[in-house]
Chains A and B, each alone.
Chain A
Amino acid sequence: MTGLLPLSVRKAEVILRGKRIVGPVDLDLDVEGFTIVMGPNGAGKTTLLRMIHGLVRLSGGEISWNLPVREARTRQAFVSQTPAILRRTVQDNIAYPLILGGTPRRLAREKAAEWTERVGLGPALQRQAVVLSGGEKQKLAIARALITEPELLFLDEPTANLDGRSMKEIEAILGEARSRGRRIVMATHNVGQARRLASEVVFVYRGNVHEHRDAAGFFDDPHSDEARAFIYGDIVE
């Protein structure tokens, strides 16, 4: 089976109401790895991910997958920083992408129950999802993204505003997903988390990709002053 990756982004940009939010960006994503998109708040991490996934329209440039666009979209999943929680039970939330894709309801619900267990939400299976805590909602969203077995998973700051325990659990879930072959691209501004998870780093600053390197190289010897300041916890505007 032909894979989704590699991905090539050329001169891609997003302009909203005359203001350039992101770009022009050149970026290549390889078949393997765990990419962390880093940068200060407001640097354009979220828009960059949304742009690549296709949630915002390109104002210029192009994004080309190794597959036709229509097919490419079905092999990716996206977890927002504040994921939408459907007004249904946890099980029905997680089963939802499969049902949309035409999986028989019973099978979808069985698989959803499995995934609910896997992300540690087992006891909440039949609860209304909107009453879950912030950490539980993130786990639900990740399970809902992984249930379709996407080749590529985007996550936008999945552990922002979560306590240490939830963060640890979510990192474990992501680590397991990676070991099962999921390609992951995740935005965070938590340097410690980036060090723990990243195989490569994309450093974003003022709407542009400043560095794209393997993680070890980036953390040992960042090229730009901004990246260096960011890693060492100085204030970067």
Chain B
Amino acid sequence: MSDIWHGLVAAFRLVISFDADLIEIIWLSLRVTLSAVLIASLIGMPLGAWLAIRRFRYRRIIIAVLNALMGLPPVVVGLIVYLLLSRSGPLGVLNLLFTPAAMIIAQVIIITPLIASIAHQAVRDLWFEYHDLLISLNATSRQKMLTLLLDARRALLTAALAGFGRAVGEVGAVIIVGGNIDHATRVLTTAIALETSKGNFALALALGFVLIGLAVTVSLATHGLSRTERGGTW
């Protein structure tokens, strides 16, 4: 119990002191994960909508694979991305290994299946309701997808936040492809792993609380923004 209390106190001290290193780490965590969520949403949401409205032979298999990929261990993703981006790997010339871009790529791979699956479920339910109307109005596939995605925006927001939560708290992949380099690729989770390995539990825990605070802040901010944007109550 006392360890947790010390962690809370240390977290509080860290935050109010505006520790420059901490700010840098938080900023990088946000930068990497928000970029990953954005890219994963741009891939996963249309993919989910497309799977909901199109009927084709391998649809079920793709959905099953997507659902299975949600459980993919991040370490495996990290290893695969490392092997791809390594100077000896097929994409080595891009020189992306141990950069924030590599971490973004790994996180995109980790959360795209999650976002696509949630989007697929939400859009499928809505499609069931909108089906007759959209068919009757001769909507094109593109129009169907855009309408469904726009009208499922609440569920999609949840999908994006779920993706954010999984990505921002993920350590296994980003430590491999980012390398946890101080002032370059160190994010909250890799800093926590480092401090834990040094036995500095109070500091590790403090960073953990900062991470939780960050996730809560992002979630609240997102909901706040989306409500003011919409103005309606339903």
Contacts and interface: CB of A to CB of B under 8 A. Distances in A.
Please say whether the chains A and B touch (CB closer than 8 A): yes
B56 to A, nearest CB: 16
Contact of B151 (A76, A88, A89, A101): A88
Nearest to A97: B137
Interface stretch (A5-13, A77-85, A171-179, A188-196): A77-85
A87 B132 contact: no
Interface string B133-155: 10111110001000100011100
B234 interface: yes
A49 B64 CA distance: 36
Contact of A100 (B143, B151, B233, B234): B143
B125 to A, nearest CB: 12
B234 A86 contact: no
Contacts of A86: 130, 133, 147, 151
Nearest to B232: A128
A80 B147 CA distance: 19
A55 B232 contact: no
B138 to A, nearest CB: 6
A76 B136 CA distance: 8
A130 interface: yes
Contacts of A54: 135
A228 interface: no
A80 B129 CA distance: 11
Contact of A55 (B132, B147, B151, B153): B132
A50 B132 contact: yes
A55 B129 contact: no
Nearest to A144: B133
Interface string B116-139: 000000000000011111011111
A131 B234 contact: yes
B136 A87 contact: no
B130 A84 contact: yes
A84 B133 contact: yes
B151 A87 contact: yes
Interface string A58-81: 000000000000000110111010
B137 A84 contact: no
Contacts of A111: none
Contact of A128 (B139, B143, B152, B233): B233
A50 B234 CA distance: 31
Contacts of A53: 136
B69 to A, nearest CB: 29
B137 A100 contact: yes
B177 to A, nearest CB: 39
Contacts of A101: 137
A129 to B, nearest CB: 9
Contacts of B147: 86, 96
Contacts of B136: 53, 55, 76-78
Given A86-B151, A88-B151, A100-B139, A80 B132 contact: yes
A100 B81 CA distance: 42
Nearest to A50: B132
Contacts of A74: 138
A177 to B, nearest CB: 17
Interface string A166-186: 000000000000000000000
A195 B152 CA distance: 42
B234 A84 contact: no
Contacts of B151: 86-88
A83 B130 CA distance: 8
Interface string A118-147: 000000000110110000000000000000
A140 to B, nearest CB: 12
Contacts of A78: 132, 136
Contacts of A130: 234
A74 B139 CA distance: 10
Contacts of B139: 100
A87 B139 CA distance: 17
User: 10 shortest A-B CB distances, which residue pairs?
Assistant: A128-B232, A87-B151, A84-B133, A78-B136, A84-B130, A128-B234, A84-B129, A130-B234, A97-B137, A80-B132
Interface of B: 129-133, 135-139, 143, 147, 151-153, 232-234
Given A55-B135, A73-B138, 7 more contacts: A78-B136, A80-B132, A87-B152, A96-B137, A96-B147, A100-B137, A100-B143
